[in-house]
Amino acid sequence: MDAFSTFTLLFFLILLLPAAPTHQQQQQQPPFSCGAQSSTTTSLPFCNTKLPITQRAKDLVSRLTLDEKISQLVNTAPAVPRLGIPAYEWWSEALHGVGWVGKGIHFNGTISKATSFPQVILTAASFDAYQWYRIGQVIGKEARALYNGGQASGLTFWAPNINIFRDPRWGRGQETPGEDPLVTGKYAVSYVRGVQGDSFHGGKLTGHLQASACCKHFTAYDLDNWKGVNRFVFDARVTKQDLADTYQPPFQSCVEEGKASGIMCAYNRVNGVPSCADYNLLSKTARGQWGFHGYITSDCDAVSIIHDAQGYAKQPEDAVADVLKAGMDLDCGLYLQQHSKSAVEQGKLPVSQIDRALHNLFSLRMRLGLFNGDPKEQLFGNIGPDQVCSQEHQMLALEAARNGIVLLKNSARLLPLRKSQVKSLAVIGPNANSGQTLLGNYAGPPCKLVTPLQGLQGYVKDTTYLQGCDSVRCSSAEVDRAVELAKGVDHVVLVMGLDQSVEREELDRVDLVLPGRQQELVTKVARAAKNPVVLVLLSGGPVDVSFAKYDKKIGSILWGGYPGEAGGTALAEIIFGDHNPGGRLPVTWYPQEFVNVPMTDMRMRPESSSSYPGRTYRFYKGHSVFEFGHGLSFSKYSYELKHVSQDKLFLNQSTSTQQAAIDESGSVRSTLVSSVGADFCEQSKFQARVRVENHGEMAGKHPVLLFARQSRHGDGRPRKQLVGFKSVVLSAGEKAEVEFEVSPCEHFSRANEDGELMMEEGTHFLSVGGDKFPISLVL
């Protein structure tokens, strides 16, 4: 059975689970150590909560035998009864809600469901960092409730996925916040702080964690299975320049600002070295440069493939030694359990490396309060089942769907439809009544589900539904029947797109158009309908719908991503004008001809000599179906850069002369950011204020995106890059000012070929909408 079939079966089985717990489930207690049940060990130092966690963890590790130590290096860690250490499961998932994927969560007791938010790519389209934080808070709280209720054997959740959505064909792009490093980094920080129980602004309330978040997949991982190349053997060839300004910044933000307690290293190799065996990546960069103080896990079976598939390690013991010496701590799999002892016996692995890993693992479990005795007396011990699927949480899921949905086209202001004027409605399409499609991958059992059909039926009593295709793949279509239906109703809503049978983990796409006969069905229904039709697209990745963009009979196009449990309600509210859409695309929508670009080419920058077009809005030179940041509203918004507190910046020559240089063109002075000093970078920050006005007749929430660009182009410079984003809620006719902090060292710099950030002399522009403001940088 493939992953999609498994998902389908388990999804419907979960929905049928009884809510009432059995007597055994009612008696089940969450595993905590050092309490009354562990009376023989409560006097030992590792149970003394007054001691520093580092000292407690060191004491615990010192009491383990070698066999016991090795048993703890894998995701399903067994109990050590003689020390009162309970079993622990490290693998749980919470990508956009607590999920059933993994081994740590069990929806078979009092709690049978959890709030299911939109898939991450749609959540990102809101460009609202505080909303991302609130979603993380809910996920962390519901995770702790499951643990407190005895329905979880772990509190470590392997999310968020913060890889850059580099290629539109990537099946897991739906899991990410999109293609922009700044957005992805801000999402990581917000989500991690929410899950772990920190404040939005980063100040920790305590040293304890509500739950543990894990940023993945470190690093340059964005290919699963494309034309015979799979993630297990793929060697991502990445320049230092692209690593510095694209692939690594989200992970750096996740560690330095988000204070993530976990990192997952990826399957793939980067420039020949497996990520999980890369000392420079795990120890020098993450732990050394960024100050990471958590645990590092492999992706599942990523250690085994270093020997078994990649052939990087000559023997299994070499693979074990490589990853532990590199700084990895935990194996999602069995390889460390099977081969660590022989690696020690052969002299390839010092026990000190095992101790180092265990120190990180037990420190994390202690930060979660799992060695602090009675959970009821702990900070998060009173979070109970009544806080799962609460009305507040379900409303946030609806709000997230509303704010993420993107209006791509609205010719002649077709939307919103007026309920009083729509007497009959046809809803057609394979995604119109599929609750499963709403959720995307890595989902849990939702609190409730409202499909697009159900949402629209709440507005129009006379609603007729036709699936139209045998499946999303649409090898067979009821075109004639759909055409006849369209002729007899006032309006038609077509709900088309993709699902997990087309894009998911282990399944990358080979093209960018609608599957099978979907385009034919849409075009012929639109041609037959009385009025221009509404096209709703559910998908994680971009789809080339150029045919619909330029078809006058297709009046409106809505992208709904995978909008979660309340997606049908949110779509219907937008279609009938009870919500003003404000989402903006977090990823470029490429044309079908982009499939001629090899997915294995990791370069971000274009190359004219080979016709390579580059990737993402920052570098891509080709035609776009819809650009990054595109999104319409029922209102019209205008922008004006009202005030910029700096129009010229001078660098201190005395501190930068040694690093000043002439770039490749021989005419532009540049200075390494590292040479100007932290004081200059801090003091050179300035404020930019943007006035935003709602000229429409509806209130709306609107994301404001501020970009920076240089007057010069080419030579590896980004075409433009995002400086900041903020959402503002404006009533009809209302104005407001939004303030951004601009850091020249960050926003006016670019990476050189050695991966070092540098600033160039000349004119830089801040731009929002069509308005721009020049800033002179003088070296």
In degrees and rounded to multiples of 5, residue 161 shows phi and psi of -90, 110
Tell me, yes or no, if 508 is annotated catalytic.
no
Distant-in-sequence, close-in-space partners of 164: CB < 8 Å, separation ≥ 6: 176, 179, 181, 184, 222, 246, 247, 250, 616
Tokens of 422: 């729509």
Instruction: Spot the catalytic one: 180, 198, 222, 299.
Output: 299
CB-CB neighbours of 423 under 10 Å: 12
CA distance 235 to 270: 6
Chain mean position to CA 84: 37
The answer to whether the CB of 378 falls within 8 A of the CB of 372 is: yes
The answer to whether the CB of 111 falls within 8 A of the CB of 385 is: yes
Q: How many helices (H) and strands (E) does the chain have?
A: 26, 29
* 245: helix, strand or coil: helix
Sheet holding 757-760, edge to edge: 661-662, 669-672, 757-760, 749-751
CA distance 45 to 304: 36
* 10: helix, strand or coil: helix
CA distance 172 to 153: 27
The answer to whether the CB of 266 falls within 8 A of the CB of 251 is: no
CA distance 168 to 596: 12
In degrees and rounded to multiples of 5, residue 255 shows phi and psi of -80, -55
Residue 775 pairs with which residues in a beta bridge?
764
Beta-sheet pairing, 700-710 with 721-730: antiparallel
| C-alpha distances out from residue 371 to 30, 85, 213, 367, 459, Å | 12, 8, 19, 9, 53
In degrees and rounded to multiples of 5, residue 518 shows phi and psi of -60, -45
CA distance 338 to 175: 32
CA distance 197 to 182: 23
CA distance 455 to 19: 25
CA distance 759 to 764: 10
CA distance 541 to 504: 10
Residue 330 pairs with which residues in a beta bridge?
297
> First-to-last CA distance in the chain?
62
Chain mean position to CA 196: 16
Active site residues: 299
